[in-house]
Amino acid sequence: MSTLSEILQRLFDHVAALWPLVVIDPWETALLVRLGKPRGELVPGVHWLWPFIEVAFTTETNAEVFTAGKQTIDGVTFEVVGVFRLVDVTRFYVELNDAPGEAVSMAVAAAASKAMSSGAWKGATDQMLKAVLHAARLRTRRWGIRVEWIEFRTVTDSPTLRLLTDNTPTAVREVV
């Protein structure tokens, strides 16, 4: 039974490769690749492609939320959250091609860590936030991604939870 379904799936994949139309939804954009070279972006709508010669790689352009993880500075635990948007699909596919949320999270976390370790955390939250946003935009621009905004959110740690995690061996902590 599974062999028949595998055969039908492969047949469907081959027929789909010959289908000359691609539909780009309103929240998507696509990169047109002809004979392995990027040829431009496709806007939302129906587009005709040459089978086996042209391929369209689609991706969403909606704003996406990311979390850059938790950090602790001077006893204050906080997380950096924000929104990013894909603005250049050609750069995205040529430079990054996968997991934009993770790449943005790492870029913002690196910028925030650098700003906080330099002592910018003490009393200058607005300036530090602007510096982190600027650094994150510079890092993600090469991937065709724009960080729209970021903010720092303080995370309140429970004293009981902190006591449990401090006294529990590392191997047990990972299982729990």
Q: Which domains does the chain have, with CATH numbers?
A: 2-60 (no CATH), 64-154 (3.30.479.30)
pLDDT tens by residue, 91-134: 888 888 778 888 888 888 888 877 777 665 555 567 778 888 88
If you ran DSSP here, which 8-state letter would residue 122 be given? Answer: T
Angle at 16 between CA 10 and CA 21, to 5 degrees: 175
143 with 101: CB under 8 angstroms? Answer: no
**To 10 degrees, what angle do helices 125-141 and 100-117 make?**
140
Name every residue whose Cβ is closer than 8 Å to that of residue 80 and which is 6 or more positions away in sequence.
67, 68, 69, 71, 108, 109, 112, 132, 150, 151, 152, 153
Position 12 pLDDT exceeds 70: yes
Mean pLDDT of 38-64: 88
**Does the predicted TM-score (pTM) go above 0.75?**
no
Highest mean predicted confidence (pLDDT) among 29-33, 65-69, 79-83: 29-33
The confidence score (pLDDT) of residue 17 equals 64
Mean pLDDT of 13-27: 79
Q: In what order do the strands lie in the sheet with 145-154?
A: 64-73, 76-86, 145-154
Higher pLDDT, 137 or 94: 137
